[in-house]
Amino acid sequence: MSIKFKDFIYVRPDIEKCKEEFNILFNEFNEASGAKEQIDIINKINAKRNHFSTMNKIASIRYTGDTENTFYEDEKKYFDKNLPLYGSLIHKYYEILLNSKFRPELEKHYGKHLFNIAELNLKTFNDEIIDDLKRENELVTEYIKLCASAKINFEGEERNLTGMSFFIESSDREVRKNANSARWKFYEDNEKQFDRIYDDLVKVRTQMAKKLGYKDFIDMAYDRHRRTGYNRDDVQNFRDSVKEYIVPVAEEIKDAQKKRLGYDDLHYYDLNLIFKSGNAFPKGSPEWINDKAKIMYSELSPDTKVFFEFMSDHGLMDLDNRNGKQGGGYCTFIPDYKSPFIFSNMNGTSHDVTVLTHEAGHAFQAFESRNFEVPEYTSPTLEACEIHSMSMEFITWPWMSLFFEDDTAKFLFTHLTGRVLFIPYGVTVDEFQHAVYENPDMTPDERKKVWREIEKKYTPYKHFEDNDFLERGGWWMHQKHIFASPFYYIDYCLAQVCAFQFWEKCNNDKDKAWEEYLKLCKAGGSKPFLELVKLAGLKSPFESETVKYITAYCEKYVRDMGKDFG
């Protein structure tokens, strides 16, 4: 492929034509005289699925890159409206697949996991919820657009939410305080809108779950995420392990930070300043970072060299922060072009490097899995996906001096402690969502109160003093996953425990660690989460002993590395 992303062809798919074409193939499938004929028809169905997905992905990438582009805003609305109708076609496909007269032969050809995925799809969808799904999509898009609309006048310039991040890490305490106040004021000023959007999302999701026969949306969400081999009780036990083993270490990290900064109290606007002399920042622009990343991935392995050159040569990365662009970062896959795409918002902080290595981990896995016969196997479930990304952050540690030069030790310490601190925050997000969807009739004020109580449980070092909005429990409003991808966030926490294990492997035998990582990436989504964990030689994060031992391993490094900074 020589074409660049900017030249990828986009044509809006006609949903009525899709229905006709799919239904013809479904009839042919049911009338087929043998498994081989059905496999040929499945290939045709998957080609059409890949094309529809390709158009959706191109439109979505171009919209998130510029939410003020009216053409792609209209295309986003079109997909918000029609994706549920397309979902109905996929539902019918899974029905005929599961009821095939030649299912044993098909299972032998594709593996049983495809049929497990199909069975979960049948549980989480029927035509009764199509209008609800449309409404859910509209509300998520409204949230994204609201966040992207932020225009904050600060330090003489108009900035978006991502553009405030640099000042939130300033070594000047007054600047940090003012930057935090300005950032959170945007959420407070729009609090009623955020509350209304989320309230509507909770209600429509609960309504869908009830229509499908679920007790609540939680079980539906677990099935939507294709989670097999564990349930909400296992996740609760994981959160308990985090409270027992990781929260005390997180408090220790924050206490050391307070002493290092020389403060009597660590205020919420101090949380992101790690060193009194200033945080580690990359020493160049996004373009410079990309050039250094080319060197890093060319040296890491022959596979990553080919991968990153492919991404660079075909313009498959949008790294700059700009007004009107959706915040955050993501990786997606464009099937017809067999191309991953990396999206981020670089802002001059160390996050520029971690988000690149993180999303490159996702993209590398997609690149290695791009030739699977069925779309379901290109990507695994999300908790497995995040192992690829979070592990890549640690696998690339030996090259961090390319980006941070004399601040490399600062960065490594910040990265490690940041990943330890992340897990208690991640389970805060998860427990909050369980509480919300177990009690969907809570008022906005009641939800905020619940958030603040859970926040105190897992991140007791957060003090908001003079910020009434945060003290009332407003922090969660900035977390896109709560609105757009309910119950996704625990996946990061489970994967982080696995990524720490990969880091330990790298410290002991980096060549073997890379072999196991590569094996995991090549497996794509051909197995469920816990089988992939086993394939990679990792211990299950649901075992409390796993959390205990990996926390102790990290704690030792934190203490040893911290000695260099007083």
What is the per-residue pLDDT across 483-525, written as a single tens digit (0 to 9) for each? 999 999 999 999 999 999 999 999 999 999 999 999 999 999 9
Percentage of the chain modeled with pLDDT above 90: 96
71-98 pLDDT per residue, tens: 999 999 999 999 999 999 999 999 999 9
Helices (H), 301-400: 302-313, 351-368, 382-395
Distance CA 322, CA 160 (A): 8
* Per-residue pLDDT, 566: 64
* Per-residue pLDDT, 539: 98
Q: State the pLDDT confidence band at 565, using cuts at 50, 70 and 90.
A: confident
Asked whether the predicted pLDDT for residue 170 surpasses 90, the reply is yes
Residue 49 lies in a domain: yes
What's the domain count of the chain? 1
Give the N- to C-terminal CA distance of the chain in Å, as an integer. Answer: 52
Asked whether the predicted pLDDT for residue 462 surpasses 90, the reply is yes
Asked whether the predicted pLDDT for residue 1 surpasses 70, the reply is no
Residue that wins the pLDDT comparison between 327 and 315: 315
3 state DSSP class of 153: strand
* Residue 548 CB neighbours (<10 A): 14
Distance CA 420, CA 250 (A): 7
* Per-residue pLDDT, 98: 98
Q: State the pLDDT confidence band at 435, using cuts at 50, 70 and 90.
A: very high
Residue 195 lies in a domain: no
Residue 398 lies in a domain: no
Residue 66 lies in a domain: yes
* Per-residue pLDDT, 122: 94
Under 8 Å between Cβ of 182 and 154: yes
Residue 258 lies in a domain: no
Q: State the pLDDT confidence band at 375, using cuts at 50, 70 and 90.
A: very high
- Which segments within 224-269 are labelled E, that is strand? none
pTM over 0.75: yes
Nearest C-alpha neighbor of 217 from the set 204, 229, 233, 236: 204
* Per-residue pLDDT, 484: 96
For residue 89, give its domain range.
5-125
DSSP bridge partners of 331:
342
Residue 18 lies in a domain: yes
* Residue 213 CB neighbours (<10 A): 10
227-237 pLDDT per residue, tens: 999 999 999 99
Distance CA 496, CA 491 (A): 8
Work out the mean pLDDT of the chain and round it to a whole number: 96
Residue 450 lies in a domain: no
Q: Which residue carries 């499945």 as its tokens? A: 42
Cα–Cα–Cα angle for 497, 334, 148, rounded to 5 degrees: 75
Nearest C-alpha neighbor of 38 from the set 103, 92, 88, 119: 103
Asked whether the predicted pLDDT for residue 142 surpasses 90, the reply is yes
Residue 96 lies in a domain: yes
Write out the two tokens for 502.
């990969």
Distance CA 285, CA 346 (A): 9
Cα–Cα–Cα angle for 136, 117, 76, rounded to 5 degrees: 30
Distance CA 365, CA 303 (A): 11
114-137 pLDDT per residue, tens: 999 999 999 999 999 999 999 999
Residue-wise over 499-535: b if at least 16 C-beta within 10 A, else e? bbbbbbbbeeeeeebbebbbebbebbbbbbbbbbbeb
